[in-house]
Structure 1
């Protein structure tokens, strides 16, 4: 050791003489801040310094030779150094324990970013072995160039901007599984030299969370049964496509399975699900060009978005191929299940929004359904205007009924042999529309069936008809005609029909025989209702049952089901064919119907009788009564009053 210089010796002497002055080599206050021992630890530097200061001061006034003083100071230095090593070793031990036990993956690197050490947690996250990670640059762990650039930028930002840490979610490379989503934190540890720092990489496994998020996102955007995009994703795709390329030609096909409820109810929902998956597969196999995007929009509704160089004939050809493919049976458990579909097609319609584009396809689909199903329809703007008007009409039936826009009309039924004799009046509905004027029942009843307003209209018809019957009976007594009400199909099959009729008869104090109820073969054959039971009970109440007959099949329903029918009304082609002149074939068929009806003891009438000559031809064949233009158009209740008065004179 070199001899101490005079100034340093003076300081030692100062410590020896005045150990607690403010001019100490290291002040007591600073040493306490630096190395105050914790309870149970070895002595701190302040305690060591004080003890050695006492030793130096205890020389009994004798100045120590330089070599002895050096030995004393060396002993002090060795103790201080030993104390520092012990503290450093303890700190290193604590860091090593934390580093090894941490569930977070940690990589220690040189200042240039080359990894020198990793913990087992990082090995578990990224796979492989420790030696495979040592010696690699931190940036090399990125799964793509983007991630590598992000890591390099993070290390650079830590140095340039003195940031405490840099954090980002990214993909790192797993040794065997490929890209892995993780949360990455970069930080710097101080080095031994001034300004030297060392990068530290900390990694948290976020792959399971990412996979869960991706799974939830997939479920939100896809149909769980078929795996196709759902309606939300389809609308988003349609909106994005229209906004990105407004000048591009687009095609939209909306398909709906015909009678799918039969499959579900007859064979079970499991079979129905199998069929839907098969349909999805067939559609994907047919629509493969023009960036086709196939989606399931509803229970048995599918849509296909097409884009590019599209022409209507090309799209129609693809739809026809799809319908033919769907018609091929799908086999489930050895049974071949055939399905048909209807389709609405739109090719580059002049619409502003995705909703309008989809609505145009729906309108075309509805027209295909109405035309008989198992076919396609191309969107037509002119027809769309008409359909919009019709559907708008159907939507406001409920409000029109509440606002009193409906009223009764009557068609008189007279004897063909004596048109002056009023036998009955047939009650019907008309709608006094505020904009469109008088609307006949044929114009709104089909729409009422779609909107569920048939039963409210039918009940209102019954109520008002029986109220008019009660009024005529009070005024004219036995001369008052019976009122015949043609039951709308939905009301005819309603299980509550008997209750409705009974309540209205009781309300107006009428016997059952004051009412004639007319139905047809379609309602009798409908399996959903309780028509047969209802007709039997209503006949027991005294109401007269009337059946509209257009052919032999309708007439035979009476014997097949033992219907309590007393009157039949001939209608349709068999009556229309005799309007101009006798037709041999028609006369033969009509004579057969009349003879069969007479054999069953039925009273036979006809509707749609146009002229007096037409009435004479029917009368000659055996028809007793009729109604139609030959008597007059539909009349009001007041007109019926005048008819009754005239016919009773």
Structure 2
């Protein structure tokens, strides 16, 4: 710590500050505090610091990368605040280098695949979004982007017959060959999950460059693999997309790549296929669905399935999540990922969300009346646009009054990015809903902002851990200790904040047992049940009431 005057000069410094900076405390006197803390290099920190010196604010805090006298760098948390005598100020510096290093290592674990050590889906989409933004605005580059999206042909048979250990070794060998095909710095190789990989070409020079990459990848993977003394052969189907970055959205790019990958498989596998707009026009288009969404709500073409939320300790069904499906007259039953994003874009999510909420509450009330000794909480997903484009609080109040469902039996789920970014009207709506007695849950927690400090200021009662965390609990032979460490820390933090924790994508008894052992309250996934029609829920309820 140091005492500084209103001009920013150091009047006195303690030995700890001298040790932190590698200087004699006496030599720090009369030096500028801004120079010691290197505040001028950050415009915002410098402005805040000046405001404190002038007495316009009580304190300022920032994090700066400082340089020790011996040349090494350190991270410090710097605080400047008014002293009790009001004539001087206190400057404090705390070395947080270890904390920053731990945060960096935790982020690396969260953003990389534990099997192949490649960037995982989360990091891939983060880099993809950044590449699209950079390509759209950087006039010095090509302004184009390319993507090879592939999965392995025949991998499941190898995994099923030879076991996950051999399968993991094969995935690592595939990752190595993909990395060898990629140009360092220009290409990003990622494992998106299972046997799916992606190669992102930033600053593509054109279609031919991406097609040549696909050819080299195909040739590299067709060479036999020697895995643990066994000679294995696999091939790959590859979807290739190349286009200008400007006007391209991550969702469109991945949909186009996924469609093209499907074409490669449909055409016989072991090949690469370039995205063809004309061929795509013959498939179900986004516009066709978008234009029929609102009439479909009026015609009641949607149905709800329900997936149980089960206590990990006692195995008792505690609630259900309502999941909407579209019984399209032409394309058959469509899952939410085929139309919800379109509904959010064109505003149809408001009437659709209102219908989902009313239908789910009506069904929950029917279950309550039929099974009064075992009330079920029904969880309904809510899009942020429903808060902005409608009066969600009024809608919820009206629907609860119409159906007679107690507010305590309704839970609203919002994605982490939506909740963590809430301010103004959305945050007010969440608070009003919470005051009404409705529970608020954060869905897919761990994939967005992960602003843990913000949780204590939100009216949230439940965290739903994203399934990517649970994947590390899947492999019996190769459990991922990093995933368990992260999940355990999140569970402990949530419980300290008075929140319950739901683990999504539970697919095995071993996962359920381990998640329950580290404190997760509830599980959801195919191990318990796939989403089912409402008449399939009552048989899952216990015969005796649950305390």
Higher relative contact order (CA 8 A, sep 6+): 2
Kindly name which structure, 1 or 2, has the bigger radius of gyration based on alpha carbons: 1
Structure (1/2) with the larger helix percentage: 1
